[in-house]
Structure 1
């Protein structure tokens, strides 16, 4: 992995990334990294590597037509006041590459690995805290099973995989449907359909469903509109809609996690089906918290969300502490 077109901590040998019409989704330092899954835009705020006093936190946005690191902005801004915090735009979203290629669960999991590697290049090889949102919880969980030594804890906000028919196959296949992808990508309506899908009223309706309320975050609506009107914005979302990012074995992945896991979910909106959470509830390494909020609860009740997460982190640090005997 190499750094390209970036702003870094005092590295005068790298050029600044070129300006675009799309603002960065979060503040701090943006660094573009060249990886096996293309160029990824990463963001850093809080303590620099030479000043770090606490464990780094990596935040990962969800997947939808308008996904970007803006979806974790409230958490990013909050934790930057007390610890090193990082975020990433996943392939096909935000300021990362939006090439016309296959976007799969495997690609997204590899992007999580690349983002973690970037954080560890800045702060050292110690395990880090990772928190993901919605479908990206599946990618983060798989990454944690593949490289558990890189993870200290895993936070899951509104995770997918616990809804509907149990996805507990033992092989890492996806729900990808070629016929649906081909239909979405048919040249006669390819771009026109995406323009309809990302019109402001449609994005507003989606956010209202996520919130379970008409009282949404208006700044997210604005950013969602702008990010979906960038070149190549339709490619990754079409693979998402066609099922290529949903893993059929995700319940098995969740069950195999051995690190401390914090899971938060809401009671309002269209994303409230967690019928299979019993598969992990009650396990000593899982902490599950329900909130009276929508799927993007950290925009509604940030204080409650971070209080619960901080309590979880404190317990995990206490469990890590060596036992001192006389």
Structure 2
């Protein structure tokens, strides 16, 4: 039997439950006397959690209300065997904004969650702005076909194959290896240790299998999502070993509400490796009207 997962960091923890999204655990700090709410969304991989957003949470807590949920299937949130999909995650973000935060918020999303946040922004009036850190969906390479994705999912879901594969991906040396890919130097020990602990929670494999089978990505994300966003958008990026940004200029050139800042040298997690550059870029974005 797995041990209970401790909190990712020292903050108030609460649960929000909806019929469609299940139980979502989240961290919050609402001690700031004023300020626009900030919603922080971790990435999707084999072992993510709100811990990935800790530097941003710690920097902005006390300055403005800050919220960092564990998305469905990860961290301390519900991890049942269900259909994890882009629609599920977008509905989670939209519902959380409406029912927990209750007013327009600035949203910061990491990697794949950028696509979910963009999808939520198209269906919600509670997204004041989007800051996308190393967002997916801007690569030139097309996704595998639906048939291929379904075949991969069935393969990963086979009990013997899936169990062995997940164990191989989430032993501590493997977790450290994959996190190493996102850092110019060594990843922080607390990030490695917590990521490894999250993989030992019952049901931890279900959501990652949907990710590994490519079912959580959107076909033609620029055309389907990014070109359609009306809110101000900031992209923070540099080099990333897992994703590319060939189509980013296409969106930047066509929309005045989009801007980008390269945070260098980083490999996908600039808020960990170059926190001051990241904070400065975010603050300037939030304090400058779109189009200026």
Provide TM-score, normalisation by structure 2: 0.92
Give the secondary structure class of the aligned counterpart of 1:146: coil
Greater mean deviation of Cα atoms: 218-227 or 283-292: 283-292
Report whether the alignment pairs 1:308 with 2:285. Answer: no
Structure 2 partner of 1:247: 218
- The 1-side partners of 2:133 and 2:291 are apart by 23
By how many angstroms is 1:287 displaced?
Answer: 1.4
Bigger radius of gyration: 1
User: 1:232-274 CA distances to partner (integer Å, 9 max, x unpaired)?
Assistant: 000000011111110114112101111110110022x404510
1:116 corresponds, among 83, 90, 97, to: 97
- In structure 2, the partner of 1:183 is 155
Q: How many angstroms apart in 2 are the aligned matches of 1:53 and 1:318?
A: 26
Partner of 1:21 in structure 2? 4
Q: Equivalences for 1:1-326 in 2 at 5 Å?
A: 21-35=4-18, 36-47=20-31, 52-121=33-102, 125=103, 127-147=104-124, 149-165=125-141, 177-211=149-183, 213-252=184-223, 253-267=225-239, 269-271=240-242, 273-282=244-253, 283-292=255-264, 293-316=266-289
> Could you tell me how far apart the structure 1 residues matched to 2:185 and 2:261 are?
24
Gaps of 5+ in 2: none
Give distance in 2, aligned partners of 1:317 and 1:23.
Answer: 40
Shift of residue 300, structure 1, vs aligned partner: 0.7
Aligned residue pairs, count: 285
Distance 1:52 1:117, change over 3 A: farther
Q: Deviations over 1:47-70 (max 9, x none)?
A: 2xxx64110000000000001100
- Cα offsets for 1:293-314 (capped at 9, x unmatched): 1101100111110101100111
For the residues of structure 1 that align with 2:291 and 2:272, how far apart are their CA atoms?
A: 29
Q: Which runs of 5+ in 1 are unaligned?
A: 1-19, 168-172, 320-326
Check conservation: 1:133, 1:159, Cα contact below 8 A: yes
Deviates more, 1:158-167 or 1:234-243: 158-167
Tell me the TM-score normalized by structure 1. Answer: 0.83
Sort the Cα spacing of 1:176 and 1:85 in 2 relative to 1 into closer, same or farther, 3 A. Answer: farther
